[in-house]
Amino acid sequence: MFHLIGVAVIGLVVGALAKLIMPGKDPGGIFITMALGIAGAFLGTYIGRAVGHYGPDQSAGFLMSLLGALILLAIYHFIRRRSATT
């Protein structure tokens, strides 16, 4: 139970930092920000394992989670900009 609360808090912090770093309009409120941070942690873990930085039982650290969240925000901005021009 406390592990899930910790993941949610870290996801909120990472998502908020990613929104502060990446300029532009971003979707949603606190729950979307939290989901962005948690999804960024999963993406950071996947990237870290793919390049051999993390082992099979390790998860992403704070910086890799932030990098994952920034990548997800960049993809969102790219899709939104592309659909707005068509």
Residue 39: CB atoms within 10 A of its CB come to 18
Give the pLDDT of residue 55: 82
- Residues of the chain with pLDDT > 70, as a percent, come to 86
Residue-number span of the structural domain to which 39 is assigned: 2-85
- pLDDT tens by residue, 30-68: 777 788 888 888 888 888 889 988 888 777 788 888 898
User: Is 82 a residue whose pLDDT tops 80?
Assistant: no
Say how far apart CA 26 and CA 28 lie, in whole Å. Answer: 7
Residue 69 has pLDDT above 80, yes or no: yes
- The residue-averaged pLDDT of 72-80 equals 84
Residue 1 has pLDDT above 70, yes or no: no
| Domain tally, the chain | 1
| Cα–Cα distance, 7 to 84 (Å, whole number) | 34
Answer whether 47's CB lies under 8 Å from 64's CB: yes
